[in-house]
């Protein structure tokens, strides 16, 4: 059985098929699949950068580390993205895991940003 323990040929033919007769292939070969995933990764990273800028700005509105972590808001986000995953046909468990890791990373970064800020005195903006 050739191929076991080696990387797949990116330009080779499919080696398996889905049992579901309604499945419609998206790409002609693995190279095209990877190309499309790479394009999506570029978009995802750009969106993460934009999200990070908003997270940084949010630190201005919080008194302390508890408000930065905002556990109730975290749960709202996790619930929302699971619903969105189901609406879009994404794997809910993957979306949930990604968001939990992402939110933890953003909170850690926001904690750092918050610690480098100074409070605004009453009456002064």
Domain ranges of the chain: 30-115
Are the C-beta atoms of residues 61 and 113 closer than 8 Å to each other? Answer: no
Question: Each residue of 47-94: pLDDT tens digit?
Answer: 999 999 999 999 999 999 999 999 999 999 999 999 999 999 999 999
pTM (2 d.p.): 0.86
Q: Which residues contact 11 (CB under 8 A, 6 or more apart)?
A: 29, 30, 31
Give whole-number Cα distances, 104 to 69, 74, 78, in Å.
9, 9, 12
Give the pLDDT confidence score for residue 2 in this predicted structure: 62
Are the C-beta atoms of residues 62 and 48 closer than 8 Å to each other? Answer: no
Our measurement of the distance from residue 35's CA atom to the centroid of its chain's CA atoms, rounded to an integer in Å, reads: 19
Give whole-number Cα distances, 121 to 49, 115, 118, 124, 125, in Å.
31, 16, 9, 5, 8
Between CA 78 and CA 123 the distance in angstroms is 36
Q: What mean pLDDT do residues 96-116 have?
A: 97
If you average pLDDT over every residue of the chain, what do you get?
Answer: 95
Are the C-beta atoms of residues 77 and 99 closer than 8 Å to each other? Answer: yes
Q: What is the CATH number of domain 30-115?
A: 1.20.59.10
Give the pLDDT confidence score for residue 61 in this predicted structure: 96
Hunting for tokens 């190279």 — which residue is that?
A: 31
Q: What mean pLDDT do residues 98-111 have?
A: 98
- Is residue 102 pLDDT above 60, yes or no? yes
Give the pLDDT confidence score for residue 125 in this predicted structure: 62
Between CA 59 and CA 57 the distance in angstroms is 5
Give the pLDDT confidence score for residue 117 in this predicted structure: 93
């Amino acid at each position: 059985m050739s191929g076991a323990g080696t990387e797949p040929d990116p330009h080779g033919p499919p080696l398996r098929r889905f049992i579901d007769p309604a499945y419609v292939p998206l790409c002609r070969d693995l190279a095209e699949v990877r190309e499309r995933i790479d394009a999506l990764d570029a978009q995802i990273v750009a969106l993460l950068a934009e999200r990070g800028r908003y997270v940084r700005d949010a630190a201005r509105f919080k008194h302390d580390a508890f408000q930065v972590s905002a556990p109730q808001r975290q749960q709202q986000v996790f619930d929302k993205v699971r619903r969105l995953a189901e609406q879009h046909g994404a794997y809910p468990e993957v979306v949930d895991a990604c968001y939990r890791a992402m939110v933890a990373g953003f909170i850690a970064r926001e904690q750092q940003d918050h610690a480098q800020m100074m409070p605004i005195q009453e009456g002064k903006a």
